Structure 1
Amino acid sequence: MSDDSPRLAVLIDADNTSARLVKEMFEELAGYGTITVKRAYGDWSSDGLKGWRNVLLGNAISPQQQFAYTTGKNATDSALIIDAMDLLYSRNVEGFAIVSSDSDFTPLAMRLRESGKRVIGVGQRKTPKAFVEACERFVFLEVLDSSSAVEPPEESPSEQPEENSPRPIQSVLTKALNKVATDDDHWTSLSALGNHMNRTDPSFDARTYGFSKLSDLVKGQPFVETKIVTGPSGQGSLWVRLKGRRPADAPAARKTAKPAAKKSPTKKTASKAAGTAKKAE
């Protein structure tokens, strides 16, 4: 039986990435396709990359040697970009994972996506926003680090959030649900909600807020209500909406009826009444 999942090339900027979470990173990327290319770029004669040497062998990563020909210039970036373009034109992969926190890879990510390739970025929260937005998905290494506790962000209007700091979840979900409600009752499917959130924010991840998946995140919010909808196949799917929403065609509150105003007598009626009075005399 053939594997129809997309083939991915994982290109790692070792000069700019720690080797500590490589195992977790590959487990994450396996969910996007079959990894057929694993390359790490750096000057392997440098003492700064000692931590990578055992990791390369244990994870079947091919080291790409790149000497620093000029002080202050990052030759690793150029080597990674050239290889990415070679892989693009060879048509041997359907997607790329660029592992770096360096904004210099922003044009590369944009170019690969223009060619119809998937681009998943992996880096630290310090990664410049431009590179994050250039990717179809962006995974922060901090999210993969199970040793660090995840603290959900709190609303604090007086503080200026950092560029990639997670936004308060109530603000995120409220804005998204208002955009993707699919019927007059304001319900939307979880899959439609997730697709919208990933399109508008490539780095959105339920794990940032302490939940393993989006369904758990949604169910855990007091301002959201959920229901299970059973489709024609008999399989149930989760639907979501904000609490307190009324159907669009709900009847408006009844207004207090005003008493009917008494009709004033018309000119003809008044004349007839006067004639009757004269006859009576």
Structure 2
Amino acid sequence: MARSGDEARLAVLIDADNASAKHLERLLAEIAKYGTAGVRRAYGDWTSSQLGSWKTALLEHSVQPIQQFAYTQGKNATDSALIIDAMDLLHAGNLDGFCLVSSDSDFTRLAARIREEGLKVYGFGERKTPKPFVAACDTFIYVENLAPATEPATTSTSTSEKPTLKRDATLDRLLAEAVDAAAGDDGWANLGTVGQNLSRLASDFDSRTYGYGKLKDLMQAHRSYQVQSRPSGDGKSSNAFVKRRQTGKRAAARQ
């Protein structure tokens, strides 16, 4: 379990055969949001020319390369080496969580096993990552979302109107469930609690997937919600709250 008052201690285990070196710097910056990456290892056959792009990146970011020869054609020895090391680290009891970097479903059971021990699992992979591995992690981040921000995908019926999100049935459902679960009697929900609910509902939920760096920006862009800032108890900061906008049918029903 995480130590009170301390940053979470994390192990970063990278399947170099199934991940790209170009994401490493931004990936480690993202991981720093969750804790300190004391263990940094990348697994692969480093005698292979296919991993040449990794070598400089590993040195620059103090990631230890773990050599694993491909003993048998068609068998993934790299996965086995990573899983064995992960279990050794898990049972040593010195960590609060693991960051598994791969788009390979072979790590689904590993992620589930780590969570059974009460540790956090953060997954990192491409959008092609199979859903079972995504769901097995507490939080899953698509590496495409770590690229420099671009303009959000929006639509607008008028140049004078504020741009709004394109309609997305899955997003609409997630937001509705997360807001409804957090809303008080007045219909307003603390945005921080909404964010926590979204993470529980979908481990891969990320406002960056929809072109917004923060959940608050996404909610402000969504035509079905209104966002309000309220002063916090200390009088020095503010908290954001979100509420569903009343449609014609819902407004009439309340009258």
TM-score bracket for the superposition, by shorter chain length: 0.7 to 0.9
> Contact conserved, 1:14 with 1:49, CA < 8 A, in 2?
yes
Secondary structure, in 3 states, of the residue corresponding to 2:43? strand
Secondary structure, in 3 states, of the residue corresponding to 1:21? helix
Alignment partner for residue 119 of structure 1, among 121, 129, 142?
121
Matches within 5 A, 1:125-164: 125-146=127-148, 151=153, 154-155=166-167
What are the ranges of 5 or more consecutive residues in structure 2 without an aligned counterpart?
155-164
> Contact conserved, 1:154 with 1:168, CA < 8 A, in 2?
no
Cα gap change, 1:205 to 1:252, in 2 (>3 Å)? closer
Cα gap change, 1:236 to 1:147, in 2 (>3 Å)? closer
Name the counterpart of 1:196. 197
Cα gap change, 1:48 to 1:211, in 2 (>3 Å)? same
What are the ranges of 5 or more consecutive residues in structure 1 without an aligned counterpart?
157-166, 254-281
Secondary structure, in 3 states, of the residue corresponding to 1:20? helix
Matches within 5 A, 1:26-65: 26-65=28-67
Cα gap change, 1:58 to 1:187, in 2 (>3 Å)? same
Alignment partner for residue 12 of structure 1, among 11, 14, 19?
14
Name the counterpart of 1:222. 223
- For the pair 1:108 / 2:118, whether they are aligned, the reply is no
Cα distance in 1 for residues equivalent to 2:134 and 2:120: 14
Secondary structure, in 3 states, of the residue corresponding to 1:31? coil
Name the counterpart of 1:80. 82
Secondary structure, in 3 states, of the residue corresponding to 1:23? helix
Name the counterpart of 1:89. 91
AA aligned opposite 1:138: F
Cα gap change, 1:148 to 1:83, in 2 (>3 Å)? farther
- Measured against aligned partners, the alpha-carbon deviations of 1:191-221 in whole angstroms (never above 9, x if no partner) come to 1100000011111111111111111111222
Cα gap change, 1:74 to 1:150, in 2 (>3 Å)? farther
Q: CA deviation at 1:70?
A: 0.4
Cα distance in 1 for residues equivalent to 2:100 and 2:91: 17
Name the counterpart of 2:70. 68
Percent sequence identity over matched residues? 46
